[in-house]
């Protein structure tokens, strides 16, 4: 299974469908959230390539409505235990420190059926929201 596409671009679906995704999308649209994390095992399971610097993805809501376009600015493979405070801050999800980031993400991935440990592979993805074209 591969990521859905819109107009030839892969999509970015943040969090879980529902209020979680709506909240995370709002953080992106409002200029706060500039990073997200994925498990390396999910990329392998879905036979999906990592995002690449310069790649553009379409940010979508639960119904695949386009909310904007993001451009990947940095991609860093690491482990769950080595995620940095810089990354946690760029995710802008309100954590006070890396330990809080780890706790929240451990709980998130547990809800999706994934077990994470300090040595679990994580892909840290940084991005910018591109300006929206003017509509008529």
Residue ranges with strand state E in 80-132: 121-129
79-114 core/surface letters (b: 16 or more CB in 10 A; e: else): ebeebeeebbebbbbebeebeebbeebeebbeeeee
The predicted-structure confidence for 20-44, as pLDDT tens digits, reads as follows 999 999 999 999 999 999 999 999 9
In the sheet with 56-60, reading across from the earlier edge strand, the strands are: 5-6, 9-12, 56-60, 66-79, 121-129, 35-39
CATH match of 5-129 with 3.50.50.60: no
**For the chain, what is the total number of helices (H) and then of strands (E)?**
4, 6
User: What's the rounded Cα separation, in Å, for the pair 12 and 21?
Assistant: 11
DSSP-assigned letters across all residues of 79-119:
EGGG--HHHHHHHTS--SSHHHHHHHHHHHHHHTT----TT
pLDDT in tens, 61-106: 999 999 999 999 999 999 999 999 999 999 988 888 999 999 999 9
Domain boundaries, the chain: 5-129
pTM of the model: 0.91
């Amino acid at each position: 299974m591969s990521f859905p596409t819109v107009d030839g671009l892969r999509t970015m679906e943040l969090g879980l469908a529902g209020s979680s995704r709506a909240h995370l999308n709002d953080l992106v649209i409002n200029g706060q959230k500039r990073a997200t994390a994925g498990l390396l095992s999910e990329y392998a399971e879905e036979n999906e390539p990592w995002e690449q610097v310069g790649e553009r993805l379409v940010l979508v809501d639960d119904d695949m409505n386009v909310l904007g376009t993001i451009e990947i600015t940095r991609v860093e493979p690491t482990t769950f235990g080595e995620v940095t405070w810089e990354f946690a801050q760029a995710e802008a999800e309100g954590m006070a420190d890396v330990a809080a980031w780890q706790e929240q993400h451990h709980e998130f991935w547990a809800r999706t059926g994934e077990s994470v440990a300090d040595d679990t592979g994580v892909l840290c993805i940084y991005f910018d929201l591109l300006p929206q074209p003017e509509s008529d």
